[in-house]
Amino acid sequence: MDAIDCIKSRMSIRAFKPEPVPQELLKEIIEAAKWSPSYKNTQPWEVMVVSGAKKAALSTMMVELLEGGEEPAPDLTAPVSWPPAQETRIAHLFKRRCEETGINLADPKVARTSKIVNFKFYKAPHAVYLFQDNSLSQWSLFDLGLFAQSLMLAAHANGLGTVPQAFATDYARQIKAFLSIPGSKRLVLGLSLGFPDMDSPANKFRTDRVPTEELVSWVE
């Protein structure tokens, strides 16, 4: 797949086929992603792929924590406010999603249901967690973001789908204990990964992007 086509055609997948991805293909994707750039070649990323019964048990634990009233405590604090431009884009997303899918994420009950589906990794056969040492600087967070993008593009180029999930880190302490990830690590991102079910209505909605003119200044 052409690199530009890969970037432009990648999308967040929220419905997957049940069959697992062969481990050799998963390794191939991670092998590609590890060539992402990083500050002084520090390569500050670690990866855990969770599948099968362990993934099912992890989902059960997170749903039980939510339903039990446990307050989310991710290692990366969730945003509480946005600048006007970003707030406008979020409102636009919610409006479009509601119009095109009937899912109103502004409704707390719908948002709660959406979070439960998120905790179940959209029925994907694999959950992927990205983490790093908690002592690393913000530059290393940026580097891990580059790795995450490379991982998603490599997956897409190989006919797989992914969706990055901040909610999958809501209960960071419990998740790390469950997966035997040291407490000295910060859990940065979860992703669902598998073969996409493109016949599902969940994958018919795609987000748009702002005009390039809003993003770029030309200085001569």
- Residue 70, domain CATH: 3.40.109.10
Tokens encoding 127? 């959950």
Q: What CA dihedral angle connects 178, 182, 183 and 185, to 10 degrees?
A: -110
**Domain around 47:** 12-79+120-204
Closest by CA position to 13, among listed 143, 128, 91: 128
Residue 47 lies in a domain: yes
Quick check: 184 and 134 in contact, CB under 8 A? yes
- pLDDT for residue 175: 98
The count of structural domains within the chain is: 1
User: Predicted confidence band at 143 (pLDDT cuts at 50, 70, 90)?
Assistant: very high
In this model, does residue 103 exceed pLDDT 90?
A: no
Mean pLDDT across 167-178: 98
Least confident of 9-23, 92-106, 179-193: 92-106
- pLDDT for residue 106: 84
Mean pLDDT across 51-64: 98
Mean pLDDT across 57-73: 97
